[in-house]
Amino acid sequence: MTTIVSDTVFIVDDDEAVRDSLRWLLEANGYQVQAFESAETFLDTYDPDQVGVLIADVRMPGMSGLELQEALIARNSPLPIVFITGHGDVPMAVSTIKKGAVDFLEKPFNESDLRTIVARMLEQAAERASKAQAQKNHQAVLSRLTTREQQVLERIVAGRLNKQIAGDLNISIKTVEAHRANIMEKLQVTTVADLMKIALAGAEGNV
């Protein structure tokens, strides 16, 4: 079983000549490359937390490149994808890009274009990974709150006043104030604005 390393360009293509050509081109430009002959083999190894980019053939025996894209979407993978094909199916290209593919190249592809796209893909992968990590950090911070504190926080974010929150939860205003103080302390913030940033960032990760 292949061990995947981070910041890698993954190639999935059933054509050995294409895999070798892409590997040579990308490694010659200093990229870490791992190639797979099928989508199934790649999925058996791929960790959604890995930072990297994917170059995949659209038409392959077994699972196609489009089915691979669907499988990665189902796993909530942030992996940027560029599809390569010898068929030039424009409607298919539009469909894959709407689902998050970065680009769509026809064989034989231009080397300069490919290098440019891969560089852009790696930048996007790093940005996605950074955002995902920030969301995880915020969610970890929010997990420190008790159920009641989470209920109070939800209402603070919704713009409810202490009196309204007390009525919503059938507790006293003093209890709301105590929960609010505990929330601020646990999240290590001093302003409601900072509190809302953390709460909203954590919520984005649950969408």
CA distance 78 to 132: 8
Give percent above pLDDT 90 in the chain: 31
CA distance 126 to 139: 20
CATH topology of domain 144-204: Arc Repressor Mutant, subunit A (1.10.10)
- For residue range 118-167, what is the model confidence (pLDDT) as tens digits? 888 888 887 877 777 777 777 787 888 899 998 999 899 888 999 999 99
Q: How confident is the model at residue 2 (pLDDT cuts 50, 70, 90)?
A: very low
Residue showing tokens 């689902």: 99
Angle at 83 between CA 80 and CA 86, to 5 degrees: 170
What burial class does residue 45 get, using C-beta atoms within 10 Å of its C-beta: 0-12 exposed, 13-18 middle, 19+ buried? Answer: middle
Higher pLDDT, 24 or 140: 24
Averaged pLDDT score across all residues of the chain: 83
CA distance 130 to 136: 10
Report residue 162 as tokens. Answer: 């202490």
Report residue 184 as tokens. Answer: 């601020």
Give percent above pLDDT 70 in the chain: 87
Higher pLDDT, 103 or 61: 61
DSSP state of 60: -
In this structure, the strands spanning 8-12 and 52-57 are parallel
In the chain, where the domains are located = 8-132, 144-204
pTM score of the predicted model: 0.63
Report, as an integer, the average pLDDT of 175-197: 89
1 pLDDT above the threshold of 50: no
In this chain, the answer to whether the domains covering 8-132 and 144-204 adopt an identical fold is no
What burial class does residue 46 get, using C-beta atoms within 10 Å of its C-beta: 0-12 exposed, 13-18 middle, 19+ buried? Answer: buried
Report residue 180 as tokens. Answer: 């609010």
Other CB atoms within 10 Å distance of the CB of residue 207: 5
- For residue range 75-117, what is the model confidence (pLDDT) as tens digits? 878 788 888 877 656 666 666 676 666 677 777 777 888 888 8
For the CA atoms of 39, 43, 48, 52, what is the dihedral angle to 10 degrees?
Answer: -50
> What is the biggest distance separating any 2 CA atoms in the chain, rounded to whole angstroms?
72
Measure Cα distances from 31 to 4, 23, 24, 83, 112 in Å. Answer: 14, 9, 10, 18, 15
CATH 3.30.43.10: does it fit domain 8-132? no
Higher pLDDT, 15 or 142: 15
Higher pLDDT, 29 or 37: 37
What burial class does residue 7 get, using C-beta atoms within 10 Å of its C-beta: 0-12 exposed, 13-18 middle, 19+ buried? Answer: middle
Judged by DSSP in three states, 188 sits in coil
Residue showing tokens 């926080």: 153
